[in-house]
Structure 1
Amino acid sequence: MSTTTGTEPADAARPTSLSPSRASDFMQCPLLYRFRVIDKLPEKPSAAATRGTLVHAVLERLFDDPAVERTAPRARAMVPGQWDRLLESRPELTELFAEDSEGERLGRWLSEAEELVERWFSLEDPTRLEPAERELFVETELESGLRLRGIIDRVDVAPTGEVRIVDYKTGKAPRPEYAEGALFQMKFYALVVWRLKAVVPRRLQLVYLGSGDVLTYDPVVADLERVERKLLALWDAIKEATETGEWRPRPTKLCGWCDHQAHCPEFGGTPPVYPLTITPRNPAP
């Protein structure tokens, strides 16, 4: 891969922290991590991801209303307004429906978002919930110096002080053999909360609106210690790749969804010139 020498560009970015999304990127494909974190290559907005953002916004803001008003019709009615707010903050999302002059695709897309919102009411009862936190940004620094950060969809705290971390997913629940991968993000959050508050969350809960499933897991300290060791090993690998410039692609079925095939050697592409100064490895004796 291309290398550079001399002074790094002012906008060159060396990784300084780890989030669940970026950790998953590196585990999926180190080169994808580089494209997103180091090169900051642009990506086209995705209809599915944007729908997820819209649904999350509705479920977050529904709790602004009194409990008695948190109904399915009320939540469905919030979708168009939240879509308008999203467009105001991210005008680039208009390109998702640029060729939809009649508005048919947008209408179906909004209806799908409304259906996901309504399905949530069959899984949880918001009239009986008073979240302690919504869209909570959390950050902590481990003894190693690794900084972890992320945004938790919802934190519930029982009268007895027990903590439940809840995350909404607009897709379908994974098959049992893939459940561990799905829980990685939640265990990451649990680790951050544990290190910040010295409290192990009582329950981790994934709410899959696409299939109407709820996946729960009750972590223990040993779980979180294992996650911490995994993240430290992952961070060591990221630091080594940052210093050497060796970000290897890892082809999988997910490559078909990647925006960066034009820059990927697996598809005949060439990565951008590496913007960071490379530290050569010591030759073997």
Structure 2
Amino acid sequence: MTTSSGAVPGAAEADAAPVAVRPSSLSPSRASDFMQCPLLYRFRVIDKLPEKPSAAATRGTLVHAVLERLFDHPADERTAPRAKALVPGQWDRLLESRPELAQLFPEDDGGAGLARWLTEAEALVERWFTLEDPTRLEPVEREFFVEAELESGLRLRGIIDRVDVAPTGEVRIVDYKTGKAPRPEYAEGALFQMKFYALVVWRLKRVVPRRLQLVYLGSGDVLTYDPVIADLERVERKLHALWEAIKEATESGDWRPRPTKLCGWCDHQAVCPEFGGTPPAYPLTIIPRSDVAGGGPEES
């Protein structure tokens, strides 16, 4: 690296740029990205293109932080007023770690936009108390990072919002959603993330979670599902197939866009062929198909 005494103009920016690497693991979010649109997966995982912060996603992060921190208090202090009182402080902490979030709110409205947004977050936190009773819960894990390597070598990872264990040893995996519950015909897609987590827990602990629970704070619904081993084996097969498709796209550089109504919320329209854009130059070495078939270079 060039020292400051002999720095080349722009070198600092180059050093700060993310380095493209071949995917080495799979999370529920990135698996969903690839299923939604392979090109979106490439932009996020390989190109690491920046995305503008979203008020809705940031509110979700804030609410998750509040619900996690509430369990730091004794059971009899886990009340709705106490939880709502945590909102401003958790927002300050979030803003300190990510100052760019300040741009979500106009500077010329006297703070009215931020105040409304915080009130909406407080309402979501308060609604949680109509769905679960935290005075009767003692989670064994909160914001729990899990990672498992399957026999195939595929590494799965993710962060579980909450893990409860009953006195009898039964495990419940809980995930908070700040949006509304999906219609029944879309419930399977919503459960994919939870089955992913259940598979990881099963492979790590050799225990099939008794219940998967999605808590929708936006609509006040709770979606539950009790998995069995056959469910998890199906998810495992699906993930293996998905990973093979990701590896093939990584080696060939062929990442196809898959246009849907969700494109309207995508930050990358300017570089998407579906909107007349051109993706950035592919930052990885393309492996010729003949090399792959003949046992050529392996993925790092």
- Answer whether TM exceeds 0.5 for this pair: yes
2:253 to 245, 258, 263: 245
**In 2: Cα distance, 1:216 partner to 1:111 partner:** 28
- Equivalent pair of 2:176/2:217 in contact (CA under 8 Å): yes
Letter in 2 for 1:75: A
2:159 to 142, 151, 170: 151
Q: Please give the secondary structure, in 1, of the residue aligned with 2:250.
A: helix
Partner of 1:6: none
Q: Please give the secondary structure, in 2, of the residue aligned with 1:135.
A: strand
Deviations 1:157-181 (A, max 9, x none): 0000000000000000000000000
C-alpha spacing 1:166/1:263, structure 2 compared with 1 (3 Å) = same
**In 2: Cα distance, 1:79 partner to 1:232 partner:** 40
Stretches of structure 1 lacking an aligned partner (at least 5 in a row): 1-8
Identity %: 88
User: What TM-score do the two structures reach when normalised by structure 1?
Assistant: 0.95
**In 2: Cα distance, 1:258 partner to 1:213 partner:** 27
Greater RCO between the two (CA within 8 Å, min separation 6)? 1
Answer yes or no: is 1:137 the counterpart of 2:154.
Answer: no
Partner of 2:295: none
Answer yes or no: is 1:175 the counterpart of 2:183.
Answer: yes
**In 1: Cα distance, 2:290 partner to 2:275 partner:** 31
Q: Please give the secondary structure, in 2, of the residue aligned with 1:215.
A: strand
Q: CA deviation at 1:87?
A: 0.5
Q: CA RMSD in A?
A: 1.4
**In 2: Cα distance, 1:12 partner to 1:69 partner:** 47
Answer yes or no: is 1:87 the counterpart of 2:95.
Answer: yes
Partner of 1:214: 222
Moved over 6 A (4+): none
**In 2: Cα distance, 1:21 partner to 1:13 partner:** 18
Stretches of structure 2 lacking an aligned partner (at least 5 in a row): 1-16, 292-300
Partner of 2:45: 37
**In 1: Cα distance, 2:124 partner to 2:145 partner:** 24
Answer yes or no: is 1:53 the counterpart of 2:73.
Answer: no
Alignment of 1:4-15 (within 5 A): 11-15=19-23
- Count of residue pairs brought into register by the alignment: 276
Partner of 1:259: 267
Answer yes or no: is 1:121 the counterpart of 2:124.
Answer: no
**In 2: Cα distance, 1:232 partner to 1:100 partner:** 51
- Equivalent pair of 1:138/1:152 in contact (CA under 8 Å): yes
Deviations 1:67-119 (A, max 9, x none): 00000011111111110010011111111114454111111100000000000
Letter in 1 for 2:256: R
Q: Please give the secondary structure, in 1, of the residue aligned with 2:289.
A: coil
Answer yes or no: is 1:78 the counterpart of 2:86.
Answer: yes
